[in-house]
């Protein structure tokens, strides 16, 4: 079984929902705190996939994800090993890393995503929503590439819950490179199914409708919507209407669970999702 580590503590939430989703997706799941990892009692090398859930790490006191990102970049573990060196060793061994919402904010601030230059520099930021408010509602997204998943349609309905989700690249050339390399793997779409910059279909104003990104090496994934919040059809706010109209629900699944199943396959050595 593919082994997945889901982190908790430091202000992460959604940990239990995420762990439940991976278990439903057929993975062997371990939930451990950031403190356990930094103490050395839990080793990322024992897992094919490490997941950073959403939340408000350190209360967002220095900005969304900033405090934990700086710890990852400049901190040391209990035995004085550099934390970032251990993360790079994990990725060099083929490990996969996912961050959802606050997890994506951490990955981008730490330079792990999208890492187009290969030097782990911070190449983008997640800025405040132009609406000036915390967006907590459902959106429609289109997955491409490794986010196309197992659904016949590549469209997903998922909830968003964030105040800072607007993807802003450091330079236009970096954005163009990410688009050219196919790293824009999840995008907000309008009623016609086309990627959009327009509110409210796009909750945060990300250019090109960017809702999720893959790293240049294909090992780090970040997205703002919350798949762990849609593990059963009944999680959807319109489930009675969907059931009455018999809209397709694959094997009784929900869109979020379909994505988690795909991620488990993505992280399984020797498989092609």
Cite the active site residues. 101, 226, 228
* Tokens (6 digits) for 211: 């809702």
- Sheet architecture: strand order including 28-33: 28-33, 3-8, 49-52, 96-100, 220-223, 210-214, 186-188, 135-143, 155-162
Cα separation, 2 vs 166, in Å, equals 32
The percent of the chain in helix, strand and coil, each rounded to the nearest 5, is 35, 25, 40
As to burial, measured by CB atoms within 10 angstroms (0-12 exposed, 13-18 middle, 19+ buried), residue 269 is exposed
- Phi, psi of 122, deg, nearest 5: -75, 115
């Amino acid at each position: 079984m593919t082994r997945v580590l889901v982190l908790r503590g430091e202000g992460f939430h959604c940990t239990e929902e995420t762990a439940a989703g991976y278990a439903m997706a057929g993975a062997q799941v371990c939930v451990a705190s950031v403190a356990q990892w930094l103490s050395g009692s839990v080793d990322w090398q024992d897992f094919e996939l490490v997941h950073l859930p959403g939340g408000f790490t350190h209360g967002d006191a220095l900005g969304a994800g900033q405090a934990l990102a700086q710890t990852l970049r400049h901190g040391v573990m209990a035995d004085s090993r550099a934390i970032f060196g251990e993360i790079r060793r994990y990725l060099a061994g083929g490990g996969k890393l996912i961050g959802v919402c606050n997890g994506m904010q951490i990955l981008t601030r730490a330079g792990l995503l999208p890492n187009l230059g290969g030097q782990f520099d911070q190449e983008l930021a997640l800025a405040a929503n132009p609406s000036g408010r915390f967006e907590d509602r459902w959106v429609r997204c289109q997955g491409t590439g490794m986010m196309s998943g197992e659904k016949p349609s590549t469209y997903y309905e998922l909830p968003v819950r964030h105040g800072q989700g607007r993807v802003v690249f450091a330079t236009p050339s970096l954005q163009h490179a990410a688009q050219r390399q196919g790293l824009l793997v999840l995008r907000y779409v309008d009623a016609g199914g086309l990627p959009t910059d327009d509110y409210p279909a796009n909750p945060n104003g990300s250019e090109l409708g960017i809702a999720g990104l893959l790293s240049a090496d294909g090992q780090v994934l970040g997205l703002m919507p919350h798949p762990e919040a849609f593990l059963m059809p009944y999680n959807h706010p319109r489930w009675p209407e969907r059931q009455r109209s018999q809209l397709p629900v694959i094997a009784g699944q929900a869109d979020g669970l379909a994505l988690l199943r795909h991620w488990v396959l993505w992280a399984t050595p020797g498989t092609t999702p």
